[in-house]
Structure 1
Amino acid sequence: MTLRSTRSTVTFSNPFTLSGYPDELPAGEYEVLVEEELLQGLSFEAYRRTATQLTVRGRGSHAGHTELRAISENDLTKALSRDQAKTETNYHSDAALSPPKEQK
């Protein structure tokens, strides 16, 4: 069985949560590790995703610890979509769009 791993980075602009984990994670960059296996017996090369993990760095009394959290691709996509929607809502708020008042 041939395996491959791909690492990428995702950025959250706001604190977020993931399905299956009770704690809120802070905004920032997170590394995503995707593991896939080669499908055998096909006339072309194809891989099947076997795992997706998010690297979470410890904070406070857990500083220096790193945890790999098993997540689904769907949960990660939903969390990123919620983050983007929250960022757009904040960006388009009345306070952000109001011109500054003139000082006399």
Structure 2
Amino acid sequence: MSGRTTRSIAHFEAPFVLGGLAGTMPAGDYDIDHDEELIDSTSRLAWRRVATFIHLPARTVKSPTSQLVAIDHAELETALRQDRENAA
């Protein structure tokens, strides 16, 4: 099977918590990678997400080290939604 990685940026107005991350993360912009695999189909191209990763620290933090941590995509979406609702 063929694979691809798509990238996005998750913006948090407030500190947040995600499973798999140690403690509370500060507000900011975080690079997100979505690994996807091609689903065999004769009628159209389709991709299935197989993993989601967050780059630590946030984009604005200057650090000599960085981490790529696997996270649950649904949990990320929930945290982003809650952040938007709390900011409104």
Asked whether the two chains share a fold, i.e. TM above 0.5, the reply is: yes
More helix by share: 1
Q: Secondary structure of 2:78's match?
A: helix
Larger relative contact order (Cα-Cα within 8 Å, sequence gap ≥ 6) = 2
Backbone CA RMSD of aligned residues: 1.5
Task: For structure 1, list consecutive stretches of 5 or more residues without a partner in the other structure.
Answer: 89-104
Q: Work out whether residues 20 and 69 of structure 2, in 8 Å CA contact, stay in contact via their aligned partners in 1.
A: no
Which residue of structure 2 lines up, in the alignment, with residue 69 of structure 1? 69
Q: Secondary structure of 1:49's match?
A: strand
Separation in structure 1 between the aligned mates of residue 79 and residue 27 of structure 2, nearest angstrom: 12
Which residue of structure 2 lines up, in the alignment, with residue 16 of structure 1? 16
- 1:17-59 residue CA offsets vs partner (Å, 9 max, x unmatched): 102334100000000100101112x11211111110111128x
TM-score by length of 2: 0.84
Letter in 2 for 1:16: F
Identity of aligned residues (%): 35
Task: For structure 2, list consecutive stretches of 5 or more residues without a partner in the other structure.
Answer: none
- 5 Å-filtered alignment, 1:1-104, equals 1-40=1-40, 42-43=41-42, 44-57=44-57, 63-88=63-88
More strand by share: 2
Structure index of larger Rg: 1
TM-score by length of 1: 0.72
Displaced runs of 4+ in structure 1, greater than 3 A? none
